[in-house]
A and B are shown apart, each in its own frame.
Chain A
Amino acid sequence: MAKATITFEDINVTVTVPAGTRIIEVSEKVGSAITYGCREGDCGTCLMKVTEGWNHLSEPSVLEDKILRENMAGKHNRLACQAQVLGGKISVKPV
């Protein structure tokens, strides 16, 4: 299975994950300060900054895109409960 790495910059932890993993599946277990609200892409609480490898994440869904716009999110901000890792090297941190 294709592998990817996610680095959580706020705690300096890198996790090797299978492609398709969502950030939410990893970030809480390692204790990153990305925090969650509804966990289903509706509230915008888990907005995070993707500092590296943003093109290695799944495209935002229509719903995620709407929430990003409502939260006036920057180009490299994503919802951690929605973004899936496709491969390569990704770095994220809480906003």
Chain B
Amino acid sequence: MNAVTLESADGIPQAVALSERVHWIGALDPNLRTFDIILKTANGTSYNAYIIRGSEGVAIIDTVKEGFAEAFFARLESVADYAEIKVIVLNHLEPDHTGALPELMRRAPQAQLFISQKAQSMLKGLLKQDELSFTPVVTGDSVSLGDRTLQFLHTPYLHWPDTQCTYAPEETMLFSGDVFGCHFCDNRLYNDQVGDFRFSFEYYYAHIMRPFKEYVVRALELIEPLPLKLIAPTHGPILRDRPQRYIQRYRQLSSPALHSEISGHQKTLVIFYISSYGNTRRMAEAIYQGAMQVADVRVSLYDLEGGEVAPFVDLIEETDGLILGTPTINGDAVKPIWDLLSSLTVVNLKGKLGGVFGSYGWTGEGVRLVEDRLRGLKLRVPIPGLRVKLIPTDDEIIECKAFGLELAQELMGIREAKVINFADLT
């Protein structure tokens, strides 16, 4: 296959043809090393934007980061006039794809803007303009460019609420936004020509898409049936060689690695603890025994000191209930607990059951602080945390068992109905 030419002989950025009617008009950012604070990249990234020409007008699909607008406009100008632009599609409003939008709208004021339903308030937040004209679209909506059509797929939370994909049926191309993308910069552009980017593809999924697995699965239901010769994401290589493999990989990554052995009517409860003098451990063991009394709850008990954070995050991702035990040292929960909690943003915890316990010496703030954190992570924490001063007595061990029992009953939906007065809620 021929090498890709990104610039003319005199150094002016040129569009790259993906087909007779579709061109890449993005920009390369080889010097970027950290993206959005949380992501590393060893060779930079690309901001991919595309142009598609129909018999009745031209559409621009996504733009680039503001500082790279010059290359974007030069590439656009190499294949189209601004007056021809009928449609601008924004698959995702993050500034690395909308940085050049205000200037594009200024140069092509006649163009109609197509965004997802959920992008509307974000667009206003980004552009700070009250009088904005745009068309919100959902799955099933399309716009005609004459002999080319753009169909919209509602794929929210991949990885923002606003994200969508755009399909060009006559080209059998999917403009996927950040989906199937990665931070990888290579001027050879195509997946069959660039350096080995597999690690980058996996890393991007793990940090960007993993928290939204259930939405990935829903999006795949829309994407998998499409005839596809090419996937055009907004970052990284353009996937023209066997694009279906990347869709299959997303399907694999969104499914549990090793299927849990529990059956459909069972639920899982994982208890993690860390203990300096064995008191929080004794509480953990009693809570474990209490929870074990409830049928169909598969309970696991682990010492945080005995493992690395990453596999524990994998466990937590798939568990139905999570109980954390921490001592209080100097008025706070201990660092290994916070290290675990600060690593959980890559998984979806919404609606899981949470509980906290721990032994303390004189103040015992740790338990409350962790409860608040669990709520912040969108777990539900129905039973107030259990605290024991120093060594648990026999009565306190009984309390711990009851705490475990009640949490397990709550997990199975068999805790007794309760009527509480608002004033009694703490």
Contacts and interface: CB of A to CB of B under 8 A. Distances in A.
B419 A30 contact: no
Interface of B: 117-118, 120-121, 350-351, 353, 375, 378, 380-383, 410, 413, 415-422, 425-426
Contact of B420 (A16, A28, A33, A45): A16
Given A11-B410, A70-B117, A72-B117, A32 B380 contact: yes
B390 to A, nearest CB: 28
B380 A15 contact: no
Nearest to A4: B422
Given A12-B415, A14-B418, A15-B420, A29 B120 contact: no
Given A70-B118, A94-B351, A31 B422 contact: no
A65 to B, nearest CB: 13
A10 to B, nearest CB: 8
A23 to B, nearest CB: 12
A30 B382 contact: yes
Given A30-B382, A32-B380, A70-B118, A13 B351 contact: no
Interface residues of A, number: 24
B375 A14 contact: no
A42 B381 CA distance: 24
B117 A16 contact: no
B114 to A, nearest CB: 16
Contacts of A36: 378
A18 to B, nearest CB: 7
B419 A16 contact: yes
Contacts of B382: 11, 13, 30-32
B351 A12 contact: no
Nearest to B382: A31
Given A16-B419, A30-B382, A72-B117, 16 more contacts: A12-B417, A12-B418, A13-B417, A14-B417, A15-B425, A18-B422, A26-B422, A26-B425, A28-B381, A31-B383, A32-B382, A33-B380, A35-B350, A42-B121, A70-B117, A70-B121
Contacts, number: 65
A5 to B, nearest CB: 8
A91 interface: no
Interface in A31-85: 31-33, 35-36, 42, 45, 70-72
Given A12-B418, A15-B420, A31 B380 contact: yes
A78 B418 CA distance: 24
A14 B417 CA distance: 8
A70 B270 CA distance: 37
26 contacts: A11-B382, A11-B415, A12-B413, A12-B416, A13-B417, A14-B420, A15-B422, A15-B425, A16-B421, A21-B422, A28-B375, A29-B426, A30-B425, A31-B410, A32-B380, A32-B382, A33-B350, A33-B380, A35-B350, A35-B351, A35-B378, A35-B380, A45-B378, A70-B117, A70-B121, A71-B118
A17 interface: yes
Contacts of B426: 29
A42 B118 CA distance: 12
A41 B410 CA distance: 29
Contacts of A94: 351
Contacts of B417: 12-14
A94 B379 CA distance: 13
